[in-house]
Amino acid sequence: MLEIRNLHATVEGREILNGIDLTIRPGEVHAIMGPNGSGKSTLANVIAGRDGYVVTEGEIRFDGKNLLEMAPETRACEGLFLAFQYPVEIPGVANLYFLKAAVNAVRKYRNEPPVDAMDFWELIHERMELVQMADSMLKRSVNEGFSGGEKKRNEVFQMTVLQPRFAVLDETDSGLDIDALKVVADGVNALRGPERGFLVITHYQRLLDYIVPDYVHVLVNGRIVRSGDKSLALELEEQGYALYNEEPGRARRVAA
């Protein structure tokens, strides 16, 4: 469902991604691991279409469509979701209101009428239970004054309400205790199904105990230097990234 071919991208004129190839089929969960600054968030931002991330080469197809030609909101309406590494605060805009605006924007794109108030209410409450979110969070302004953990939980909550076909989670587990981590995993696992794909960016192997990936990729210096199954994550946990991180030249040889 998501095909990335030879993707090169620059930020402020500096090449961050240098030739990424990645194919994710419906139903698959892929994990991307890699040291800080290796380009994981950059990849997530390029997929989501953020301004300032310039694709200089390569392509991304989403269900066969050219993703890079679409505006970020179109990508979202097509079913792409990004759980932000650093969720943004929007003062004065109630979480619930924001979520409803998002749901209705997607529905409008699909030529569907605005969501029925009762249906929405039920869905919201079911999802809140799933991610163990307090009612009071709905009235609070989007992410304003939320703790780090609440912000991440809110991202997962939004994901489970919007039910995207493809979701990128950017270090949603960072800074979470084990209980919060399980909540994140529950959210993902609840949505997991033959029609959906996930790209889970993480620093730590432990999330992958709960969200068991089909594939694990190691991203170093803007390239995928190694791919494998879930055991690769364990191996990385033991050995770290030092092996891949000495200098870009070597990393490229490993990948090839």
Partner 1 sequence: MNDSTQALERLATSDYKYGFVTDIEQETVPPGLNEDVIRLISAKKEEPEWLLEWRLEAFRYWLTQPEPNWVRVHYPPIDFQAISYYAAPKQKGDGPKSLDEIDPELRRTYEKLGIPLAEQAMLAGVAVDAVFDSVSVATSYKGKLAEKGIIFCSFSEAVREHPELVKKYLGTVVPYRDNFYATLNSAVFSDGSFVYIPPGVRCPMELSTYFRINASNTGQFERTLIIADEGAYVSYLEGCTAPMRDENQLHAAVVELVALDNASIKYSTVQNWYPGDAQGRGGIYNFVTKRGLCKGRDSKISWTQVETGSAITWKYPSCILRGENSVGEFYSVAMTRDYQQADTGTKMIHIGKNTRSTIVSKGISSGHGQNAYRGLVKILPTAENARNHSQCDSLLMGDQCGAHTFPYIEVQNPTAQVEHEASTSKISEDQLFYCKQRGISAEDAVSLIVNGFCKEVFKELPMEFAVEAQKLIELKLEGSVG
Q: Give the integer Cα–Cα distance in Å for 172 and 82.
A: 10
Using rule CB under 8 A, residue 51 touches partner 1: yes
Cα torsion 168, 164, 93, 152: sign: negative
Q: Could you say which residues in the range 31-70 bind ligand ADP, by CB under 6 A?
A: 34, 36-42, 52
> Minimum distance between the CB of residue 153 and partner 1, rounded to whole angstroms?
16
The values of phi and psi at residue 158, to 5°, are -60, -40
Closest-CA residue to 84 (of 170, 189, 164, 9): 170
Nearer to partner 1, 60 or 216 (CB): 60
> Minimum distance between the CB of residue 2 and Mg ion, rounded to whole angstroms?
19
Q: Could you say which residues in the range 3-42 bind Mg ion, by CB under 5 A?
A: 40-41
Q: How many CA atoms lie within 13 A of 30 on its CB side?
A: 24
Please give the torsion angle defined by the CA atoms of residues 142, 147, 149 and 152, in that order, rounded to the nearest 10 degrees: 20
Q: Give the integer Cα–Cα distance in Å for 30 and 230.
A: 9
> Minimum distance between the CB of residue 94 and ligand ADP, rounded to whole angstroms?
29
| Placement of tokens 């190839």 in the chain | 21
Using rule CB under 6 A, residue 202 touches ligand ADP: no
Name the binder of 38 from Mg ion, partner 1, ligand ADP, none, CB < 5-8 A by kind: ligand ADP
Site of interaction with partner 1 (CB under 8 A): 48-52, 71-73, 75-77, 81-82, 84, 87-93, 98, 101-102, 105-106, 109, 141, 158, 162
Site of interaction with ligand ADP (CB under 6 A): 11-12, 16, 34, 36-42, 52
